[in-house]
C-alpha cells in the first residue's frame, strides 16, 4: 500500500533520467506543473545527477587525440549574449484559468469543457488518452461529487492525479495537484468529496481488480 500527496523519489529520479514510459511521464509532468515543491525536488535530482556526471572520469582516447580535443574545447569562445529584447509581460486575462495544465491539455487538444466524455455508468465519465509506450493505460476520470469509485485492487501500479475537486481515500484528502500512488497490495474505494465533481488523471500498467462481479464482466468493454 502506498498513499502520498507528492510523486515518489523513485518516479521523480526516473523522470529526471528520462527513463519513464510515456504514460508515467505524462502523469509526473502534469503533477510538476501543479506542485512547486515537487519542481524544487526535481531540480535537486537534476543538479545531483549533473554533479555525478562531472565526477565521472572518461577513458582517454589512444595517443594524443584526447589532448587535442580538450585543447579545442578550452580554446572555444563563449557564445555572445543575445541582444533580443525581452518579451513584454502578458496582460492579465479575465478568462478563467484552465483546469488542465500543460502538457496534458495539448495531449487532449483542449480543456475539460472542450472534450467529449464517455460514460462509465452511475454518473461517472472518462476519456482514454492514447500513448505509444505499449505499457500504460491513461485516462481522465470524472467522478460525481459525493460518490465513490467502485472498490478495487490493482494488478500493478496506479497513479491518480487530482486536477479539479478532491477525493478522500485511506483517511487522506487529495486535492488539486495531489498525486496518489497505489500498488498491488492496496484495496481501496476513493470517494469524491461533496460540492464538486472530481476530475483526475489516472495511469495504470495493469487492469484494475474490481470487487463487483458485474464490473468484472463489463471491464473489457470499458478498457479499465
What confidence tens digit (pLDDT) does each residue in 88-113 have? 444 555 567 889 999 999 989 999 98
Q: Which residues, 6 or more positions from 81, have their beta carbon under 8 angstroms from its beta carbon?
A: none
Give the pLDDT of residue 72: 43
Tell me how far apart the alpha carbons of residues 153 and 174 are, in angstroms, rounded to a whole number: 19
Q: Where are the alpha helices (DSSP H) in the chain?
A: 9-17, 22-34, 36-55, 65-75, 104-108, 213-222
Tell me how far apart the alpha carbons of residues 33 and 92 are, in angstroms, rounded to a whole number: 20
How confident is the model over 115-144, as pLDDT tens digits? 999 998 888 999 999 999 999 999 999 999
| pLDDT grade for 66, boundaries at 50, 70 and 90 | very low
Q: pTM value?
A: 0.76
What is the mean pLDDT of the segment spanning 28-55? 83
Question: Which domains, and CATH codes, for the chain?
Answer: 1-76+101-224 (2.60.120.10)
Say how many CA atoms lie within 13 Å of 114 toward its Cβ: 10
Contact call for residues 161 and 171 (beta carbons, < 8 A): no
Assign 96 to helix, strand or coil: coil
Amino acid at each position: 500500500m502506498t498513499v502520498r500527496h507528492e510523486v515518489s523519489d523513485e518516479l521523480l529520479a526516473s523522470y529526471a533520467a528520462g527513463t519513464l514510459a510515456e504514460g508515467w511521464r505524462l502523469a509526473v509532468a502534469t503533477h510538476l506543473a501543479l506542485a512547486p515543491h515537487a519542481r524544487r525536488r526535481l531540480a535537486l535530482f537534476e543538479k545531483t545527477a549533473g554533479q555525478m556526471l562531472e565526477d565521472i572520469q572518461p577513458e582517454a582516447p589512444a595517443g594524443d587525440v584526447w589532448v587535442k580535443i580538450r585543447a579545442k574545447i578550452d580554446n572555444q569562445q563563449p557564445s555572445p549574449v543575445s541582444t533580443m529584447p525581452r518579451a513584454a509581460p502578458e496582460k492579465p486575462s479575465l478568462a478563467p484559468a484552465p483546469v488542465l495544465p500543460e502538457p496534458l491539455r495539448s495531449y487532449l487538444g483542449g480543456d475539460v469543457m472542450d472534450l467529449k466524455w464517455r460514460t462509465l455508468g452511475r454518473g461517472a465519465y472518462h476519456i482514454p488518452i492514447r500513448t505509444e509506450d505499449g505499457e500504460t493505460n491513461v485516462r481522465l476520470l470524472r467522478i460525481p461529487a459525493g460518490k465513490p469509485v467502485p472498490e478495487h485492487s490493482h494488478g500493478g501500479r496506479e497513479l491518480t492525479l487530482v486536477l479539479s475537486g478532491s477525493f478522500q481515500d485511506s483517511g487522506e484528502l487529495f486535492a488539486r495537484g495531489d498525486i496518489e500512488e497505489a500498488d498491488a497490495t492496496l484495496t481501496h474505494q476513493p470517494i469524491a468529496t461533496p460540492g464538486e465533481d472530481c476530475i483526475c488523471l489516472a495511469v495504470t500498467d495493469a487492469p484494475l481488480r474490481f470487487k463487483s462481479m458485474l464490473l468484472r464482466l463489463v471491464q473489457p468493454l470499458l478498457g479499465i
